[in-house]
Amino acid sequence: MPASRIADAARELFGWEDLREGQEASVDALLHGRDVIAVMPTGAGKSAVYQLAGAMLDGVTVVVSPLIALQMDQLNQLAESPKAPAGVALNSALGVTALEEAWEGLTDGTARYLFLAPEQLAKDDVVDRLRDLAVGLLVIDEAHCVASWGHDFRPDYLRLGEVRERLGRPTTVALTATGAEPVRLEIVERLQLRDPLVVVTGVDRPNIDLEVRRATTDSDKRAALLELIPTLERPGLVYAATRREAEELTEELRELGLRAETYHAGLSAKERTRVHEAFLDGEADAVVATNAFGMGIDKPDVRFVVHASVPESLDAYYQEIGRSGRDGEPASAVLFYRSEDLGLRKYFVARGTDAAKLRAAYGAIAEAGRPLRSKELAEQLDLSARTVTGLVNLLVEGGAVRLTRKGAVPIARLDAADAAGRAEEASERRERIEQSRLDFMRRYAETRDCRRRVLLGYFGEDLGGLCGSCDTCRAGTAEEAGQHDAAAPFPSGSAVEHSEWGHGSVVDVEADRITVFFESQGYKVLALESVLEHELLTRVG
């Protein structure tokens, strides 16, 4: 496919004079029928990949997008390009008439893009009508949601591999801003992608200054945070660990004269919409929120993101600080950190399982002789819908059950105890994953090395030198710490083999330790002296 044709289409249909890094390669692969995983930083033009490819391919482009706000934003982007094909959305906010009008537009060709949430693809009639339309391109937006390694894993994404199969395996592009190696590997597996082209553009956002401020007590941390925020250029976001903390911080910032708003999942939909719109319209200096305030925020001039507490992973942290500085102008990311704060996160990580309920759930599914929906299973077991959803998800992850369009079915005839055992192993793996990511979050917060180098190393990118725009670089500690990497026997990015944990990839190097990612175990911090003395690792390749 001549590159000029892609560039010409971008210019004629969307008015884009230049394509950004990774966009042309991604579109070219899709036009040749090759699946693509595109990992691009927030604001780097991920949506342009499917918009351009969809306009150049035959058939309907189906975009799976997790939030209605995201869908509306993506539709608005298309509307701003009058020469581009039109799009429609299917979601729970639409009435019957509006839904039918959307289907009519797709059927008669006046609309070529369809935006919908994964929950819509659980409906037989939706998938059947899409199959009749002939899907030319399937787009999985926020694709990290499909992976248990992804910080925002969502069970609704689990069925997308089966949906893709029912649609005839259309060419597929998975888009994410936080696709570390384990996330990418699981996206391929879950979506059953065929030899995908993996396009990873620089995840670095050099205009965002990185800083960690440590505190010994919670009151000291709160006082320092309230002292800092009024001095920062506005508007900005403040992330809190709990709803109560968000509400308290909002009141305290208001007392300091800031136009502060609260956002969390416990508010009414009307109030959440009001806060969202006030922030986008410049009527709020700061929104103090839990992680519920996230996807769907498209405001280019956010000048700071402050975390009042440590998040659960660098994936989540990168996603949240990436909401600042989208206009390319300087922005600040400040993390207030106490090592004790990790205790709360560890509490949530240690989830445990109920073997008896897992056995009962698998037994009911196996004995049904037909697909069993979660609602029916909940009634049979006299459990809440939420509990049953969790049980089924663990059985799916353990390979004992699969989700079909009509409900859950057993993959093979297993003893109920064996099925529960597989699910418990899946739960333990998830716990290892989350604990591993939390350990790396600690590494980021406590490092003396270049903080940006640690952050990028987590995502498999080597910064090379020092960034010069983080607190450790300014303090001079990063230069000393960074001298060890190049001379290390296992430099960052090298492939290694461990006798027990198998293949791994070195993601971080310090003077006396290295951090290695193992697919079965997660991120492991190993004492370099012990590694060398006992020959625990072997370089591969």
Residue bearing the bigger pLDDT, 133 or 42: 133
Task: Assess if CATH 2.30.30.140 describes domain 486-541.
Answer: yes
**505 pLDDT band (50/70/90 cuts)?**
confident
Residue bearing the bigger pLDDT, 172 or 502: 172
**Cα 309 to Cα 414: distance, rounded to the nearest angstrom:** 44
Residues of the chain with CATH 3.40.50.300: 3-200, 208-347
From 322-326, 425-429, 460-464, the region with the lowest mean pLDDT: 460-464
| Percent of the chain's residues with pLDDT above 70 | 92
Highest-pLDDT range among 5-14, 112-121, 219-228, 458-467: 219-228
pLDDT over threshold 60, residue 257:
yes
Fold of 208-347: Rossmann fold (3.40.50)
The type of residue at 166 is R
Give the residue among 459, 515, 510, 462 at the shortest CA–CA distance from 487.
510
Section 459-474 average pLDDT: 86
Q: What is the mean pLDDT of the chain?
A: 85
Section 257-272 average pLDDT: 91
**345 pLDDT band (50/70/90 cuts)?**
low
pLDDT of residue 246: 94
pLDDT of residue 482: 53
**Cα 365 to Cα 124: distance, rounded to the nearest angstrom:** 20
Q: Two tokens at 299? A: 């405001």
First to last CA, the chain: 34
Q: Two tokens at 82? A: 């009058």
DSSP states along 489-537? SS-TT-EEEETTTEEEEEEEE-SSEEEEEETTTEEEEEEHHHHHHTT-E
**346 pLDDT band (50/70/90 cuts)?**
low
The type of residue at 435 is Q
Residue bearing the bigger pLDDT, 486 or 63: 63
CA separation, residue 41 to residues 178, 298, 318, 325, 450 (Å): 8, 13, 9, 12, 20
pLDDT of residue 262: 94
CA separation, residue 82 to residues 13, 20, 76, 77, 117 (Å): 8, 21, 11, 10, 25
pLDDT of residue 51: 93
pLDDT of residue 150: 55
Q: Two tokens at 465? A: 């030198």
pLDDT of residue 511: 73
Q: Say if residue 100 is exposed, middle or buried (CB neighbours under 10 Å; 0-12, 13-18, 19+).
A: exposed
pLDDT over threshold 70, residue 254:
yes
DSSP states along 120-140? GGGSHHHHHHHHHH-EEEEEE
In which order are the strands placed within the sheet that holds 208-214?
208-214, 331-337, 304-307, 236-239, 286-289, 260-263
pLDDT over threshold 90, residue 208:
yes
pLDDT of residue 474: 94
Residue 106 near residue 88, CB atoms below 8 Å: yes
**153 pLDDT band (50/70/90 cuts)?**
low
CATH class of the 355-429 domain in this structure? mainly alpha
Section 326-333 average pLDDT: 94
| Percent of the chain's residues with pLDDT above 90 | 34
Q: Which CATH number fits domain 3-200: 3.30.70.141, 1.10.600.10, 3.40.50.1580, 3.40.50.300?
A: 3.40.50.300
**Cα 40 to Cα 170: distance, rounded to the nearest angstrom:** 22
Would you state the torsion angle of the CA atoms of residues 72, 76, 77, 82, taken in this order, to the nearest 10 degrees?
150
pLDDT digit string (tens) for 298-313?
A: 788 999 999 998 988 8
Section 461-483 average pLDDT: 81
pLDDT of residue 194: 86
pLDDT digit string (tens) for 363-416?
A: 999 989 898 888 889 999 998 887 888 888 888 878 888 877 678 889 878 889
Section 136-153 average pLDDT: 80
pLDDT digit string (tens) for 265-274?
A: 888 888 988 9
pLDDT digit string (tens) for 61-116?
A: 999 987 777 777 788 888 888 788 899 988 877 778 888 899 999 999 899 999 99
**2 pLDDT band (50/70/90 cuts)?**
very low
pLDDT of residue 4: 77
**Cα 394 to Cα 358: distance, rounded to the nearest angstrom:** 8
Residue 149 near residue 182, CB atoms below 8 Å: yes
pLDDT digit string (tens) for 213-230?
A: 999 899 999 999 999 999
CB atoms closer than 10 angstroms to residue 497: 13
Residues of the chain with CATH 2.30.30.140: 486-541
Q: Say if residue 63 is exposed, middle or buried (CB neighbours under 10 Å; 0-12, 13-18, 19+).
A: buried
**256 pLDDT band (50/70/90 cuts)?**
very high
Q: Say if residue 174 is exposed, middle or buried (CB neighbours under 10 Å; 0-12, 13-18, 19+).
A: buried
pLDDT of residue 250: 97
pLDDT digit string (tens) for 85-94?
A: 899 988 877 7
pLDDT over threshold 80, residue 40:
yes
pLDDT of residue 3: 52
CB atoms closer than 10 angstroms to residue 127: 18
pLDDT of residue 1: 46
